[in-house]
Chain A
């Protein structure tokens, strides 16, 4: 019984994780990462990390949290953008960026980006260096199996899904959490303690806004996985994040979330299921 179930799911899992990924789309994603990382890791304020041992605090103050360090990050993004030894430089870049996230109680967008970038490094993103020069899709190469892309997609699902599940508490859905945070956190731009969220001329009961935001996050966590819905999900997501900018500041998490939409919207996975098999137009071994 178990063996039958396994044999039924194995080809599906194989296709889901090991289907070859389109190297041209991966090259676009590589360029997007090279442009986005300096933006996300630029800090106009640095919070001194608390849990770091004393000798490391010195390293933070004099090395990691300096403009020169950020310039080094930018310098490593250049070969990444051009696809020159992108895995090697990408790994170095990743190692440089880790201390800017995990020991700094700053923007959470960095964690989302770092995990996605780590997954991205598992792709052979240097197969195609200049994606716009390639016109004939039939001559494209594979950039390896698709599972690193699936990980980036799963990161987006975890981001929305995790928040949606956490918001599914009675206190949040009643609007208590939003009312409380609107008066206790400076990142909230509107005072909702009166039970009403005033967005321009529209007044929405806070409970309704809370339920709405949880539902939207559930929708965004799932809809991207259904090909037909992904563009609608992207539009809903962009409008959702645009509305959020009027209510609260979540630093760069808005942009980080939208950035991850690329993993669903770029044509990374060829439509033809035969693609990648030996003898097909896109051969993973080529």
Chain B
């Protein structure tokens, strides 16, 4: 109770030329808050770099069965950007190698997985619409 009253009294005291009553403490507070602001700045950056993504492929048979395939060698590994990965998929999907992977009367479903702002996203790629 006493502490609370003391705090309240301090807060109700007339405004001095420093915020804390001591210039050194003011400097410490100023630099402390400024450092926290600078350190937390990466959290407030929006849309500044490309997002790495991984490519997955599923073969869908004529009966609708979904079979996960191993990602073809040229598309394996982490791609530096979603858009680049999408272009690579579209390019690859038109090659004979991709045709060979496609089940008879079936199709391939290409997808990209990436992390954005701590959350995982999956994007199904329409290979008929190259960007």
A interface residues with partner B (beta carbon < 8 Å): 17-18, 20, 23, 50, 85, 87-88, 105, 108, 111-112, 115, 118-119, 122-124, 126-127, 141-145, 147-148, 150-151, 154-155, 158-159, 162-163, 166-167, 169, 171-172, 176-181, 183-185, 193-194, 248, 250, 253, 276, 284-286
Which listed segment binds A: B47-55, B60-68, B69-77, B101-109? B47-55
CB distance from B79 to the nearest CB of A (A): 11
Cβ–Cβ contact A184 & B48, under 8 A: no
Cβ–Cβ contact B11 & A180, under 8 A: no
Residue of B nearest to A47 (CB): B119
Q: Assuming the A-B contacts A108-B44, A144-B19, are A184 and B51 also in contact, with contact meaning beta carbons closer than 8 angstroms in the complex?
A: yes
Question: In the complex, what residues of A have CB within 8 A of residue B18's CB?
Answer: 18, 144-145
Cβ–Cβ contact B16 & A144, under 8 A: yes
Q: Assuming the A-B contacts A85-B8, A105-B117, A185-B116, are A147 and B30 also in contact, with contact meaning beta carbons closer than 8 angstroms in the complex?
A: yes
The 4 nearest A-B residue pairs measured at CB? A124-B15, A166-B48, A180-B83, A284-B17
B43's partner among A108, A177, A184 (CB-CB below 8 A) is A108
Cβ–Cβ contact B48 & A167, under 8 A: yes
Cβ–Cβ contact B46 & A250, under 8 A: yes
B interface residues with partner A (beta carbon < 8 Å): 7-8, 11-12, 14-20, 23, 26, 29-30, 33-34, 36-38, 40-51, 81-84, 86, 114, 116-119, 121, 123, 131
| CA of A235 to CA of B49, assembled, Å | 28
| CA of A17 to CA of B123, assembled, Å | 51
25 residue pairs of the A-B complex, CB under 8 angstroms, read: A18-B17, A20-B17, A88-B11, A105-B119, A115-B37, A118-B33, A122-B20, A123-B19, A124-B19, A127-B15, A141-B15, A147-B19, A151-B33, A163-B46, A163-B48, A167-B48, A169-B49, A176-B50, A180-B81, A180-B82, A181-B51, A183-B82, A184-B82, A253-B44, A276-B17
